[in-house]
């Protein structure tokens, strides 16, 4: 290793040792560690941190937990971090302790996190969200068999909204059907949150349209039984509101725009019946949605699945959702698509990229188990990965 001084990161508000070359880079790299340019922004490698709810915010405000949690990934070589689902309105949170960006006081705690990540040479974005009919629920470890967060525990079970009055499950709140003024209110809230993202300094934004939350629930006829222009069997109707909001977000945001989708409801029924009617949300409808997203100017599709049907049956295994990303790549060869789904094996992850099934690997639980996964992957693939100066004693 060449000798070098302990130079500071230029322009950082505090002293951080400058990493040169950047953390997470190497000259001889497999695809997993090669840069990728999305929407004009270059990411140093293709290991992205998936959004992971922490249920640890203070009235929607990020805390030191988030600084440590997110900052740890920034120092360990990932190409990008997507901060957890962050609601654009208070009643759009999943739990009372979820993140938010509906007021200006929530800007500064996020800016602190972003500045730290930038000082480590790591790109960071945020997932803007609305939980829809799955709002006002307790954090997973607080449920004890009960799901609804009552008023006395900070919940709002009588102020939950969705496309229809269909609850996700009998243990969840019964939502109110959103009327046109409420649809406009939510659309405006997304745009206002994007203005705050500009102030925070995020490198990209992801819109959450997956896992049974608001936009996904509009898309699927398992959760949307409206009879107006925003529902029913015509796919065009069910796409209308999510596309309307995403289009407004695209117009308000000049940097890369990601959208997370669910490619299937994993319901125990065909996607389309012999009568020609849609029975569940699936890959064929997803292809139509992605085509429309590309027309809007979305730069990246984060391809997941499930979360909208309480009785879903998912064949869990390593990379079980990769075929959905692969299908979208075949339909749209120029699409930048990320894949998820219990991915942990570096050689298999590299294989998904080499085989053209995806462009980016997104990890969640595996990074919770092993935040140093980029280093683990580099060793498995036979390359040297630059680590933070402070951690070099562990690898030299």
Q: Which residue pairs, CB below 8 angstroms and at least 24 apart, start in 8-13?
A: 9/119, 12/115, 12/119, 13/115
**Strand locations in the chain (E):** 36-38, 41-43, 47-49, 80-87, 99-100, 123-129, 161-162, 176-177, 204-209, 257-262, 300-304, 337-339, 360-363
Contact (CB, 8 A) for 366 and 318: no
Contact (CB, 8 A) for 241 and 229: no
- Output the six-digit token pair for 165: 């009055």
Distance CA 396, CA 204 (A): 34
CB atoms within 10 A of CB 174: 15
For residue 360, which phi and psi values (nearest 5 degrees)?
Answer: -140, 145
- Output the six-digit token pair for 78: 């990932």
- Output the six-digit token pair for 190: 């997304």
| Strand pairing class (300-304; 176-177) | unpaired
Q: What is the DSSP letter of 257?
A: E
Residues annotated as catalytic are 213
Question: Tokens 């003024």, residue?
Answer: 181
Contacts of 15 (CB under 8 A, 6+ apart): 8, 9
For residue 210, which phi and psi values (nearest 5 degrees)?
Answer: -140, 180
- Output the six-digit token pair for 353: 């990229």
Give the burial class of 19: count Cβ atoms within 10 A of its Cβ; 0-12 exposed, 13-18 middle, 19 or more buried.
buried
Contact (CB, 8 A) for 218 and 246: no
């Amino acid at each position: 290793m060449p000798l070098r001084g302990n130079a500071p990161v230029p322009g950082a508000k505090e002293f951080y040792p400058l990493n040169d070359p950047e953390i997470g880079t190497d000259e001889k790299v497999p695809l997993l560690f090669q840069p990728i340019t999305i929407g004009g922004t270059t990411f140093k490698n293709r290991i992205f941190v998936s959004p992971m709810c922490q249920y640890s915010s203070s009235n929607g405000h990020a805390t030191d937990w988030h600084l440590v949690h997110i900052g740890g990934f920034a120092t360990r070589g990932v190409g990008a971090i997507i901060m957890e689902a962050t609601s654009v309105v208070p009643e759009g949170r999943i739990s009372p302790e979820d993140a938010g960006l509906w007021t200006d006081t929530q800007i500064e705690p996020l800016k602190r996190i972003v500045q730290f990540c930038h000082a480590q040479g790591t790109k960071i974005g945020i997932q803007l969200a609305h939980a829809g009919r799955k709002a006002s629920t307790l954090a997973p470890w607080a449920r004890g068999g009960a799901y609804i967060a009552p008023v006395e525990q900070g919940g709002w079970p009588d102020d939950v909204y969705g496309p229809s009055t269909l609850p996700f499950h009998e243990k969840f709140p019964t939502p109110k059907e959103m009327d046109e003024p409420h649809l406009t209110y939510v659309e405006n809230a997304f745009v206002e949150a994007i203005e705050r993202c500009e102030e925070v300094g995020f490198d990209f934004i992801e819109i959450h349209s997956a896992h049974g939350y608001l936009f996904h629930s509009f898309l699927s006829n398992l959760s949307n039984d409206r009879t107006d222009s925003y529902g029913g069997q015509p796919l065009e109707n069910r796409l209308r509101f999510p596309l309307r909001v995403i289009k407004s977000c695209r117009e308000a945001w000049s940097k890369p725009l990601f959208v997370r989708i669910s490619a299937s409801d994993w319901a125990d029924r065909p996607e389309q019946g012999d009568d020609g009617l849609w029975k569940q949300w699936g890959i064929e409808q997803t292809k139509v949605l992605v085509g429309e997203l590309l027309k809007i100017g979305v730069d990246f599709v984060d391809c997941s699945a499930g979360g909208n049907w309480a009785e879903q049956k998912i064949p869990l295994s390593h990379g079980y959702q990769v075929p959905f990303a692969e299908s979208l790549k075949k339909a749209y060869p120029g699409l930048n698509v990320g894949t998820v789904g219990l991915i942990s094996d570096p050689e298999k992850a590299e294989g998904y990229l080499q085989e053209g099934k995806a462009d980016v690997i997104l990890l969640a639980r595996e990074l919770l188990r092993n935040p140093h996964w980029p280093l683990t992957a580099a060793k498995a693939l036979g390359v040297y990965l630059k680590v933070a100066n402070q951690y070099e004693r562990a690898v030299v």
